[in-house]
Amino acid sequence: MDLDLLVGLLILLAITAGLVGALSGLGGGVVVIPALVILFGVPIPVAIGTGAITILATSTTTGAAYVRDRLSDLRIGMFLEIATVPGALLGATATVFLTHASLADTLLIALGLVLIATIPGSLARRNEELPSRVQPDARSRALGLSGEYQDQALGRPVSYTAARTTPALGVMFGAGLVSGMFGIGGGVFKVLALEKYLRLPMKVATATSNFMIGVTAAAGAGILFAAGFVNPLFAAPVALGTAIGAYGGSQILPSLRNRTVRLIFLPVVAILAVEMILRGFGLP
Amino acid sequence: MTAGPSRVPTLPDSAYSRMTLVLRGGLFLALGIMVAALVWYLLVFPSATLADAIATNPILNYLGATGLAHGLADGAPAAYLTLGLLALVATPILRVASGFYYFRLGHERAMEGITFAVLVMLFFGLLVLGPLIR
């Protein structure tokens, strides 16, 4: 295949990844990495490096829009980065050392199973438009982890406050670890932690996850860069396409209802979980 | 839905607009460099294929600051692709730095300490851990 054709195909693929990433809060690596491996025969380490670039492009594009619209909560996002960044550094370092080790495969399977286990809880909340009876913990009160956004779909301002910060920090460390290690999966745990433990509205969870994943990916990308896992001939067209798709997604999200965003998110989680398990067993 | 705490620290509006500007500026700069370098690369190597791209990762020549500087001075398109990718990686780090600045401005010691710790870890990864692994 000629390189110019490859560039065109990668841009088209990445537009889809950016759109899915922006709407789900997952960053788009979930689409790009398996496609690079299965469709183009790209080695997995390079696909993981490209996945990190996809996440960076999604986060930067959507971050600009969601921060402007106050959908991303800067304070909550930056507070949780204290857990995701060390996780990402550890994960990316582990990837370099354990690329071909069976431990990485086992971890993938375990993470896939954990993701599947979270689906019933999210399904139970599928009709919940906004969380109710949320009690902030002491840390949330001290740091002012609360906010308000104008909900276009509901046509009114919505206020929220963060609830259980300690389990959220634990899940965020795991999210960073997965993100650094596999280039995918970080966003899915972030959205779950933001929604399930902090009890943020789904759109705020998605937008704040998108805001955060860029920093997590940047932490991992430095190491993946240094290890030679980022190939600019794949990463550059993917970054361009992702930015286009993510911009489209960022224009759509504010007008969606929270339950619609959850309905987009859940199937992607299920696909990601199956994909992790299959990859853990060595299947494409 | 519960109401938030009665008195909470808030970021000024300028923090949101400045952070939007940092993210948008970094994105446009990174994408601008990458698009120009990609077109340039395709013009310089018109017969390059997918197999070539997989077999030879051009970034390996530009991982160090000296190699990158030489590549940029020589007008190597792959060096400019690398520069664009580095600009993309640097953008969220700049965003954290601007958050640190606003928390410091608002005398929010706890959030200031958290963002500073995140910055230290990011630089540790980029400048110490990455080269160490390489």
B38/A236 CB distance under 8 A: yes
Could you tell me the two tokens for A91?
């994960």
Nearest residue of B to residue A223, measured between CA atoms: B130
Bridge-partner residues for A151, per DSSP?
Answer: A156
* A99: confidence class by pLDDT, cuts 50, 70, 90: low
Q: How far apart are CA A10 and CA A15, in angstroms?
A: 9
Domain count of the fold of chain A: 1
% pLDDT > 90, chain B: 46
Do residue A159 and residue B1 have CB atoms under 8 angstroms apart?
A: yes
| pLDDT surpasses 50 at A163 | yes
pLDDT at B2 over 70: no
Tell me whether residue B2 is in a domain: no
A 106-135 residues with CB below 8 A of B?
130-135
With respect to residue B1, please indicate whether it lies within any of the assigned structural domains: no
| Angstrom distance (rounded) from CA A122 to CA A196 | 8
pLDDT per position as a tens digit, B28-48: 999 999 999 999 999 998 888
Range list of β-strands (E), chain A: 146-151, 156-161
Residue numbers of the domain that contains B106: 14-133
DSSP run (H or E) holding A10:
helix A3-24
Q: How far is CA B46 from CA A132, A203, A240, in A?
A: 59, 45, 20
pLDDT of the residue at B1: 45
Average pLDDT over residues A135-147: 86
Which range has the top average pLDDT, A25-34, A41-50, A61-70, B34-43? Answer: B34-43
- Which residue of B20, B54, B59 is in closest CB contact with A64? B20
Report yes or no on B7 lying in a domain.
no
Question: Which residues constitute the domain of residue A106?
Answer: 3-280
For residue A125, name the pLDDT band (cuts at 50, 70, 90).
low
pLDDT at position B27 is: 93
Which residues in chain B have Cβ-Cβ distances shorter than 8 Å to A88? 125
Contact indicator for A41, A121 with CB cutoff of 8 Å: no
Is the model's pLDDT at A41 over the cut of 60? yes
- Give yes or no for residue B5 having a pLDDT over 60: no
Contacts of A87 (CB under 8 A, 6+ apart): A172, A173, A174, A175, A176, A177, A178, A179, A180, A216
| Separation between Cα atoms, residue A172 and residue A51, nearest integer Å | 19
Tell me whether residue B120 is in a domain.
yes
Residue B64 has a CB neighbour count (10 Å cut-off) of: 12
Length of chain A: 284
Mean pLDDT score of chain A: 83
Could you write out the DSSP letters of every residue in A225-279?
A: HHTT---HHHHHHHHHHHHHHHHHHHHHGGGS-HHHHHHHHHHHHHHHHHHHHHH
Q: Tell me how close the Cα of A74 comes to any Cα of chain B, in angstroms.
A: 8
From chain A residues 169-228, the ones with a CB under 8 A of any chain B CB are: 214-215, 217-223, 225-228
Cβ pair B23:A89 closer than 8 A: no
pLDDT at B8: 57
Query: Which chain A positions have a beta carbon within 8 Å of B49's beta carbon?
Result: 1-3, 6
Q: Cα distance from A33 to chain B (closest Cα, Å)?
A: 15
Number of continuous H segments (helices) and E segments (strands) in chain B = 6, 0
Contact (CB<8Å) A68/B53: no
CB within 8 Å: B50 and A135 = no
Residue among A1, A142, A232 minimizing CB distance to B110: A142
Mean pLDDT of A235-243: 93
Token readout for B68 is 């990158």
Q: Which residue from A50, A182, A36 is spatially nearest to A103, judged by alpha carbons?
A: A182
CA distance B133 to chain A (A): 7
CA distance A6 to A17: 16
How confident is the model at residue B6, as a pLDDT?
46
- Degrees, nearest 5: CA angle A114-A119-A123: 165
Number of domains in chain B: 1
Tell whether A232 lies on the interface with B, counting CB pairs under 8 A: yes
CA-to-CA separations, A195 to A17, A148, A167, in angstroms, rounded:
22, 15, 12
DSSP state, residue B45: -
Q: What is the model's pLDDT at position B35?
A: 94
More confident residue, A121 or B69: B69
Both tokens assigned to B1: 């839905």
Is the pLDDT at A210 greater than 70? The verdict is yes
B53 interaction partners in chain A (CB closer than 8 Å): 3, 6, 231, 233-234
